[in-house]
Structures are given as structure tokens and as C-alpha cells.
Chains A and B, each alone.
Chain A
């Protein structure tokens, strides 16, 4: 039970975010995860900018 509480606590900053901020976090997370194996970060800034601009219109 205590562990479950702790896990919820870890996620709290994301769960309590506004929908647009949550969208940014989740999409950036997925992007970074998919690039974890890549050594070069070319275009990542553009991709992240696109995520932010799409989330906040």
C-alpha cells in the first residue's frame, strides 16, 4: 500500500499538470525514449519546438 502511494506521488506532478503541459511532457518523453539509442540529437530541438507549438495554440 505504501509503495503504491509512493508511486502515485512520483506521478503527481504530471497528473496535476494542465492538459497542454501534460501533452508536452508525454510527447517529449516518447520522443526522447525513441531516440535513447541514437548518439546524435540532430533536429531534436525542432521536433520538441513542434510539440510545444502544437500543444499550445
Chain B
């Protein structure tokens, strides 16, 4: 962040618009000095920066509710508003920013009402085109320089020791953690852990995979089907064998004279029985076909009756009268001429007669449809009658065939009985064998049928199982993804935890080393700054060989504070150049200091004046004439790029005027106010 200019309007002691204060930005001459006496507005100017950026004020800034210049309010009429604003421009990360914060006060009879402040921001990239940023201006500022860190860059030098006071230890520890990126790592780890929990819950919702169990079931069913099929093949072979055996036995029976007649009759009857059974099957098929093709006609009788009622009704109302059609009359009217040659022009009697007919005549279209549908309905009724005829006939046939089969069976039983009781032992044995074969065939056929049903059931089970398996496969993919996400999150947590440990060790030690170097460069004491594991900054001494905390003076604490700020800028700049995960990914930091050398000894003032412009990338110093003169001027003047003088206008009649001489030119510091108001103006110092 490199500040380029600031401009104020009616902000505290500054009446109206100030000139735009261009700030020193070059590498060597990076310092802007603003001279002003006590009360001229140095603290106001420091607070103009913090108010604009963060809407915050320094501790020394009194009466924050009186932001708007008193003279501007006094001069405004009742009912008018007065605006107060600060405009700041800076560069950051190859972009230019122009930001304005303003607030208005409304003057009324009893005083003033203060409005809300508003923040506006415009950004320009390398190509120079200005645009409104996509994020909130506050968020952008927070990303460039977090609000929690602002007090280390915009501060009151007379109170700077406060940042290392014992009751502020926690605050500086927090700030250091933010600077070193530790806080961001902590939050990243914490929030990644929360995200991991959410991912684990998602995994739980997907449910445990049952795919292994289902696949096992699938295998079992497939094996069962295979075994049944094998048995079916065996049964078929066995049946073939039994039938052959039956034939041979029957043949042998026929060859025996005593049984020949009976056996032949039996074969005849068996043939007849088979043929009757065939016919029975055929009859049943015919019934099935009749039901599927014409069965519906039976349940349509109510609807066809209703249709006829509608047609009758239409006929009665004359809407289906045959003869002249509505379409025919309309055609005559459209052509304005009758078939007899009479012309049908507007309003003539012939035309009116014809138009009356239009009301009476039926539509030929409706009539045609009615005729067509009546034919279809007649067909339905005919089919219905035919259906019942077929069913009755086939049912009678079934009855007849059943009787015939029953008769044949009785006769067959008789023959078998006679053969079983035949005087010839051979015949008796052959019949017994036939009985056994028949028994076996029945048994096998039953088993075959049962097996067929079993296979059908198993195949249905298999189908539903396959569906479940493909559903589970989809779930399994989701599970794998969820698990991959969980382990990636855990890996990120582990790695960040490692980085945190390393970063804490490395960065804290490096920062501590730098604070020690800078402190010892400025201070003549043997004290050593320490940054504890809790990031607490303390001053210790170990002259007795034992490290002991020091009860440091205000001066020493001021030096410690400035050393800390300088070290932070120096280290963060270095780390961010090495592309580390740093909080401020910028190598440029400004410092705005108000009255920085107040209570310090000459030697300290000299050292600080020497060191700070070197370490900070940009320095803006607000000083009194006495703070500046001498060693500070000697050390800093080579670094000064811009200078301004705050001129205070006093309404006190006999006020003592004051001035500062710069480069042979006198600039007023205190002047007599031309009216009853006190206010300040800013003048730019122009050097040759």
C-alpha cells in the first residue's frame, strides 16, 4: 500500500476544501513532513487517514462527535446540510484506488443532526480505466491492511509505547499472529476440521455399502438356477428312458396272445384320450382368444344404449334431419345467389328466408358422423352377440370332451385291472412293470413342473437383486468420492498444521532477531527484546547471567514499539517477496506518525530519525517546529520528498503570530483569524 494523496473538506479544524496533498512516494525521498504547532490539526490529519480507512480514531483524538468544521456549520443556514469528507488515493498491487468517506450534518433550530458516514471507492488497473469494485470497499481495505493492524501504521508517536504496555500484551500478540500468518492458518485448520465433519455426515447419509452382501446373494441364486437346470436335463433324459421302457413293455404285452386284444384296445384308447386332450387344449385356446379380442364388447352395452338415446334425442329435435344442410345454405348466402337464379343481396326477402332456414337446417357434418358412429355401434352389438355364441359353443365342447376322457379313463382302468389280475404270471408282471413306469413318469413330470416354477421365481428374485446392485454401485461411487474428499481435507489439515509449527518457529525467531537488531541499533541499554511462544513482546536483560524482565522507561518502550513496527514491515516485506503465505501480500507499507519524538533524548531521536525512513517504504511525519529542528532535521532532510505547513488562524485578538523558515522562505504557523472562527489551512512548501 503506497499512499499517493489526501484531500480534506470541512474535516475538524480544516475549513472548506484543502489542497490535494501529494505524498512522497519515491524510493529515496519517501518522507513527507507536515509541520504544525500544537492545536493546528496534526492529530486531525492523522485521524483523517484512520477515519477514512476504518472509521476509527486515535486515543488522543477528542470529541469524535465533532467531526465537521465549526465554521462551516456556523455559516450554514438553518435547514441546510454541511458535508465533511476525506479523499485518499493509494496504489496497491498494480492497482490505483480512490476512496472517499463522507458524512453530513443537518443544521436546524436547536442544533445539528449528524448523518451516517458513506464510503465510496473506485479502482483503476494498469490500463487506467476507473471502475467500481465488485466487493464492498470496507472488505477491500480489510484485505489490503486489516483494521486490527492499523494502529501499527497510523499512530501517535507520543503514545506509541502503549502498544507494548503490559495490559496490551494480548493485543500485540494477536496482531503478531496475524502478521505472521499464524492466525489465518489457525482459522484455516479450524474451519477445515468443521468442513471435514460435514463431509463425514454426508458419507453417513449415503449409508454403508451392501454391495458385497448383494453380490453374494446374486451368486447363490445363479448357482441354484444352474443346479435346477441340470436336474431338468436329467429329468428329460429319465422321462425319455421311461417312455422307451414303457413302449417296449407295452410291445411285449401285445406280443403275448392272451393280452394282445386288451393291449391293442388300450393303445387305441390312449390315442383317443391324447386326441381328446389335444382338442380340450385347443378349445380352451379358442375361448382365450375370444375373450381377448371381443370380450370388451360385452361391457359396452350400456354405453351403446346411451349413444342410441342421444341420437334419438337429436333426431327428435330435428338436428339430424336429412334433407337440406346448414353448410349448403351457408354456401348460397356466401355466393349471394340461389340455385334458382334469385339473387340474394343484402336485406332482400329471399335472403331473409334463406337465413331463417339456416337456423332450422341440420349440419351435414354432424349427420355424417352420427351415421358413421351408428354403424360402428351396431358392429359392437353384433360382436357381443357373436362372442356369447362362441363361448357357449366352446363351453359345450369342453363338457363333451371331459366326459369322453372320463369314459376312456374308466375303460382304461378296467383293462389295467384285468391285466393286473390275469392268470398268466408274465402278463401280471408286465402290467406291474407298466404301473411302476407310469408312477415314475408321473413323479418326474411333477418334479419337472415344480422345477420350472422354481426357476421362474428365482429369475424374478435375480432381476430385483440386479436392480439393487446397480443402485448400490452408484452409491459406492458417491462413497468413494466422499471418502476422497475427507482424506484430502485431512491431508490439508495435517500439512497446514506442519506449516503452522514451522512458521511459528521460523518466523517468530526471525522477527525476534530483527527486533533485537533494530532495538540495539537505537538504544544504548543492554536490554534485549524477546518474543515469547505466546507472541508476547517483552524487554529483558541478562547482565547477571540470568534473563530478567526489565521495568522499562517510557522512552525505552517507545523505542521497543518502533523497533517492533519497523521489524514487522521489514520481515513481512521479505517473506512476501519469497512468495510465502503471508497476510499482507504486499511489500510496501506506509507509516503515518504524529509527533514521533516527543519525550525522547537527543541521541534516540537521532537514531530513530535515521532508521525509520530506511525501514518503512513510505513515511508521513507530523511534527512541531521544535520536534523537527536539530538532529531530526539533520537525519531526515535528505529523505524528504514533500513538505506542508499547517497554518492555524486564531480568533484571539492579540494572538502571537508564529512562522517556520524553510529553505530561506517564511511559512506562517499561527496567524490572526479574519473572523471569529479558529481554523487551519494547509500550504505546500516549495523548494528550489
Contact = CB atoms under 8 A, between A and B. Distances in A.
Interface of A is mostly: helix
A25 B496 contact: yes
Contacts of A37: 138-139, 142-143, 146-148
B506 A28 contact: no
B485 A56 contact: yes
B488 A52 contact: yes
Given A25-B496, A48-B191, A36 B146 contact: yes
Given A10-B580, A33-B583, A45 B191 contact: yes
B191 A6 contact: no
Contact of A48 (B184, B194, B502): B194
Interface string B159-201: 0000000000000000000100001110110011011001100
A7 B580 contact: yes
B192 A28 contact: yes
A52 B489 contact: yes
Q: How large is the interface on A (under 10, 10 to 19, 20 to 34, 35 or more residues)?
A: 35 or more
A36 B496 contact: no
Interface string B139-154: 1001100111000000
Nearest to A57: B481
Contacts of A40: none
Contacts of B148: 36-37
Given A49-B198, A52-B199, A29 B581 contact: yes
Interface in A3-57: 3-4, 6-7, 9-14, 17-18, 20-21, 24-26, 28-29, 32-38, 41, 44-45, 48-49, 52-53, 55-57
A46 B314 CA distance: 71
Given A7-B578, A24-B489, A34 B143 contact: yes
B198 A21 contact: no
Contacts of A10: 499, 502-503, 506-507, 580
**Counting chain A CB atoms within 10 Å of each CB, which of B183, B184, B494 scores highest?**
B184
A14 B184 contact: no
Given A14-B581, A36-B583, A52-B195, A21 B143 contact: no
Contact of A17 (B183, B185, B198, B495): B495
B94 to A, nearest CB: 18
B498 interface: yes
A21 to B, nearest CB: 5
Contact of A25 (B138, B142, B492, B575): B492
Contact of B188 (A11, A21, A29, A52): A29
B313 interface: no
B624 to A, nearest CB: 34
A41 B578 CA distance: 30
A49 to B, nearest CB: 5
B580 A11 contact: yes
A36 B178 CA distance: 8
Contacts of B575: 7
Contact of A9 (B495, B502, B581): B502
A41 B188 CA distance: 12
B488 A6 contact: no
B198 A3 contact: no
B331 to A, nearest CB: 72
Interface of B is mostly: helix
B491 interface: yes
B484 interface: yes
B510 interface: yes
Given A10-B506, A36-B583, A48-B194, A29 B492 contact: no
A11 B495 CA distance: 10
Contacts of B484: 56
Contacts of A14: 495, 499, 581
A25 B198 contact: no
Contacts of A13: 494-496, 498-499, 502
Contacts of A3: 510
A32 B189 CA distance: 10
**Counting chain A CB atoms within 10 Å of each CB, which of B146, B191, B499, B510 scores highest?**
B191
A24 B583 contact: no
Contacts of B499: 10-11, 13-14
A17 B492 contact: yes
Contact of B491 (A11, A17, A33, A35): A17
Contacts of A17: 491-492, 495
A6 B575 CA distance: 12
Contacts of A55: 488
B139 A34 contact: yes
Given A20-B488, A33-B143, A52-B489, A25 B495 contact: yes
A25 B510 CA distance: 24
Contacts of A34: 139, 142-143
Nearest to A53: B485
A33 B491 CA distance: 20
A29 B191 contact: no
B513 to A, nearest CB: 10
A7 B202 CA distance: 38
Given A7-B506, A13-B499, A32 B481 contact: no
A21 B488 contact: yes
A21 B195 contact: no
Interface string B39-54: 0000000000000000
B648 to A, nearest CB: 36
Contacts of A45: 191, 194-195, 198
A29 B187 CA distance: 9
A26 B485 CA distance: 16
B666 to A, nearest CB: 46
Given A37-B148, A52-B489, 11 more contacts: A10-B580, A12-B502, A13-B496, A17-B491, A29-B184, A32-B184, A32-B188, A33-B143, A33-B184, A34-B143, A41-B191
13 contacts: A7-B506, A7-B578, A9-B506, A10-B499, A10-B507, A11-B581, A24-B192, A29-B185, A29-B188, A32-B188, A36-B184, A37-B143, A48-B192
Interface of A: 3-4, 6-7, 9-14, 17-18, 20-21, 24-26, 28-29, 32-38, 41, 44-45, 48-49, 52-53, 55-57
